[in-house]
Structure 1
Amino acid sequence: MKALITVHRLSPTGGRRVTTRGAILGIAYDDGDLVELARSAGIDDPESLVGDDRLIEWRGGRPHQYEAA
């Protein structure tokens, strides 16, 4: 199964760009933002999405990490 959401690398100032199928949903600064962005994209049950890393492709950083080092 291909990931529904892609969470891109950390921004130097914090936060991560979130896309689905190439469309930019916005910037997430925590998992709550990720849930809201998924909900706005019409993804069913976005809360369970965040807990299932098979449905999210995390690029350029650890999963669930949103703060710049």
Structure 2
Amino acid sequence: MAAPIVIHHPSPTGGRRVTLRGQIVGLAHTDNDVVEFLRRAGLPDAHDLLDQPDWVEWRGGRAHHYEAA
């Protein structure tokens, strides 16, 4: 089963698009941005999920890095 949260490859201008079950929830520039987007979507303990592949798929680039591609 695919992870419900996808943190996409870094954009050319920096930041990573974040989707939750296929819906865009924001453009993150830090892990804290991701956590806030997911908190707003109803996942209060999202920080604990960032390194769990069942929950989060990091696409392109290294996990937790948001610099321009």
Band of TM-score, shorter chain? 0.7 to 0.9
| Residue 24 of structure 1: aligned partner | 24
Find the aligned partners of 2:36 and 2:44 in 1 and give their Cα distance.
11
Q: Which runs of 5+ in 1 are unaligned?
A: none
| Residue 61 of structure 2: aligned partner | 61
TM-score (norm 1): 0.86
Find the aligned partners of 1:45 and 1:18 in 2 and give their Cα distance.
17
TM-score (norm 2): 0.86
Identity %, equivalent residues: 55
Cα distance 1:18–1:32, how it changes in 2: closer, same or farther (>3 A)? same
Which range moved further: 45-54 or 6-15?
45-54
Find the aligned partners of 2:50 and 2:18 in 1 and give their Cα distance.
12
Instruction: Please report the RMSD computed on the Cα atoms of aligned residues, expressed in angstroms.
Output: 1.5
Q: CA deviation at 1:59?
A: 0.7
The list of structure 1 runs, each at least 4 consecutive aligned residues, that deviate by more than 6 angstroms after superposition, is none
| Residue 7 of structure 1: aligned partner | 7
Q: Which runs of 5+ in 2 are unaligned?
A: none
